[in-house]
Amino acid sequence: MKKQLCFAIAALYAGSFLYAQNGDPKITEVWNPEPRIVTPGQTSADPPSDAIVLFDGSDLSNWEKADGKGAAAWKVENKAMTVVKGSGAIRTKQSFGDCQLHIEWRTPAVVKGDGQGRGNSGIFLMSNYELQVLDGYKNRTYSNGQAGSIYKQLIPLANASRKPGEWQTYDVIFTAPRFNKDSTLKSQGRITVIHNGVLVQNNAAILGATQYIGIPTNTFHKEKEPLILQDHGNPVSFRNIWVRELE
Ligand code: MG
């Protein structure tokens, strides 16, 4: 009797499962919202149709000195911009929060210095969170300071560095930190970084604003802030910089 009951229940389950699988397939179709059309570039380096191009190789019109004291003074030639030692960091005139960023960079072909002194620059998301740019090819330094690190916070998952003098890419997906009305931290920023096609940061939680000395801090800032490129005294070059704002 017990056996028969079990069999009956099993048959009932199987029946309902079969009914669901053989029912109307439209029930599980979702049509709204319909994703808007974004025309991709010819290659992954080309800006998609909705991207804001921050540097296309022609000039620094979208940039200024990061201290706000005048025009960006980096050198532009051969469709690239290069750090001019001592001229200072530069920042975008426009501010950004959540975004997708594509940026290409190149450390000097002629290797000088070592560790942090070799091909050092950096990309400060929201002016505060440094994605390290460094010659990482056979150049050991502290792991949380090498290329692909969030400086002194997050070690990259791999060292995907190309040789000095070769162009490299970062594709970044960044979620800004959120702050409460009383200026305390509501949620941490998050970052995904693909370095030369290799995942090096996987939706990693950012601990706070980058500090050279001491632990990261979480100080209130606006919902959108400029992107900064660092002058660390080394002639690092950048090109093909574009950003897509995320909602
Ligand atoms: Mg740096």
Ligand 1 centre from 247 Cα, in Å? 29
79 touches 53 (CB < 8 A): no
Token pair listed for 139: 């150049």
Quote the pLDDT of residue 44: 85
> Does 163 lie in the same domain as 47?
yes
Using CA of residue 50, residue 243, residue 179, residue 156, what is the dihedral sign? positive
Q: What is the CATH number of the domain that holds 182?
A: 2.60.120.560
Distance CA(206)–CA(191), nearest Å, equals 7
User: How many Å separate Cα 78 from the centre of its chain?
Assistant: 25
121 touches 236 (CB < 8 A): yes
> Does 97 lie in the same domain as 142?
yes
Ligand 1 centre from 85 Cα, in Å? 13
Ligand 1 centre from 111 Cα, in Å? 16
Domain span at residue 18? 1-35
> Does 63 lie in the same domain as 18?
no
> Does 133 lie in the same domain as 15?
no
Quote the pLDDT of residue 1: 45
For residue 8, which phi and psi values (nearest 5 degrees)?
-65, -45
Each residue of 169-184: pLDDT tens digit?
Answer: 999 999 999 999 999 9
Token pair listed for 125: 């998301």
User: pTM, whole model, 2 decimals?
Assistant: 0.90
Quote the pLDDT of residue 138: 96
CB atoms within 10 A of CB 61: 12
> Does 94 lie in the same domain as 179?
yes
> Does 125 lie in the same domain as 18?
no
Ligand 1 centre from 42 Cα, in Å? 31
DSSP 75: E
CB atoms within 10 A of CB 229: 27
Each residue of 103-142: pLDDT tens digit?
Answer: 999 999 999 889 999 999 999 999 999 999 999 999 999 9
Quote the pLDDT of residue 22: 74
> Does 162 lie in the same domain as 88?
yes
Ligand 1 centre from 108 Cα, in Å? 14
> Does 189 lie in the same domain as 80?
yes
> Does 100 lie in the same domain as 8?
no
Ligand 1 centre from 44 Cα, in Å? 25
Ligand 1 centre from 54 Cα, in Å? 20
DSSP 3: H
> Does 113 lie in the same domain as 9?
no
Token pair listed for 79: 């469709």
User: How many folded domains does the chain comprise?
Assistant: 2
> Does 88 lie in the same domain as 12?
no
Residues measured by CB to lie within 5 Å of ligand 1, the ion: 120, 122, 230
> Does 28 lie in the same domain as 68?
no
Proportion of the chain in helix, strand, coil states, percent, rounded to 5:
10, 35, 55
Which residue positions in the chain have pLDDT lower than 70? 1-21
Ligand 1 centre from 234 Cα, in Å? 10
